[in-house]
Structure 1
Amino acid sequence: MSLLLSQALYDELRQHGVETYPYECCGIMLGKAVGEGLRVESLIRAGNTRTDSAHNRYNIAPQELIKAQREARTAGLDIIGFYHSHPDHPAQWSQTDFAEAHWFGCAYVITAVDHGHPTATNSFLLSGTSEEDKQFLQQPIAVE
Structure 2
Amino acid sequence: MFYFLRRQPVVLKYTAEQIETITAHAQQTYPEECCGLLLGQVNRCQQPQVRCLVKVWQTQNAWNLEAAAAMAELTETNQDKMTKIRRYWIDPGEIFQAQRQAREQNLEIIGVYHSHPDQAAVPSESDRAVAWSSYSYIIVSVVQGKAQETRCWCLNEQNQFEAEEMLSLTAQS
TM surpasses 0.5: yes
Q: Of 5, 8, 13, which residue of structure 2 is paired with 1:4?
A: 13
Residue matched to 2:94: 64
Q: Which has the higher mean CA deviation after the structures are superposed, 43-52 or 62-71?
A: 43-52
Tell me if the contact between 1:6 and 1:143 (Cα under 8 Å) persists in the aligned partners. Answer: yes
CA distance in 2, matches of 1:135, 1:68: 26
Please state whether the residue corresponding to 1:69 is helix, strand or coil: helix
Tell me if the contact between 1:10 and 1:143 (Cα under 8 Å) persists in the aligned partners. Answer: no
CA distance in 2, matches of 1:74, 1:104: 24
CA distance in 1, matches of 2:85, 2:160: 25
Structure 2: unaligned runs, 5 residues or longer: 1-9, 65-81
Please state whether the residue corresponding to 1:96 is helix, strand or coil: helix
Tell me if the contact between 1:5 and 1:40 (Cα under 8 Å) persists in the aligned partners. Answer: yes
Residue matched to 2:163: 138
The Cα RMSD (Å) is 1.2
Matched, 1:126 2:139: no
Q: Of 55, 58, 82, which residue of structure 2 is paired with 1:45?
A: 58
Please state whether the residue corresponding to 1:84 is helix, strand or coil: strand
Tell me if the contact between 1:31 and 1:79 (Cα under 8 Å) persists in the aligned partners. Answer: yes
1:52-85 Cα offsets, whole Å, 9 max, x none, are 5000100001101100110110010010000000
1:134 Cα deviation (Å)? 2.0
CA distance in 2, matches of 1:23, 1:140: 26
Specify which structure has the higher proportion of strand: 1
TM-score (norm: length of structure 2): 0.77
Residue matched to 2:124: 94
AA aligned to 1:110 is I
Q: Which has the higher mean CA deviation after the structures are superposed, 15-24 or 34-43?
A: 34-43
Matched, 1:112 2:141: yes
Between Structure 1 and Structure 2, how many residues are aligned?
139
Tell me if the contact between 1:82 and 1:108 (Cα under 8 Å) persists in the aligned partners. Answer: yes
Q: Which has the higher mean CA deviation after the structures are superposed, 21-30 or 35-44?
A: 35-44
Bigger radius of gyration among the two: 2
AA aligned to 2:30 is Y
Tell me if the contact between 1:108 and 1:126 (Cα under 8 Å) persists in the aligned partners. Answer: no
Matched, 1:19 2:28: yes
TM-score (norm: length of structure 1): 0.92
AA aligned to 2:121 is A
Please state whether the residue corresponding to 2:112 is helix, strand or coil: strand
Aligned-pair identity (%): 33
AA aligned to 1:46 is T
Residue matched to 2:41: 32
Are the structure 2 counterparts of residues 125 and 104 from structure 1 closer, same or farther at C-alpha, using a change threshold of 3 Å? same
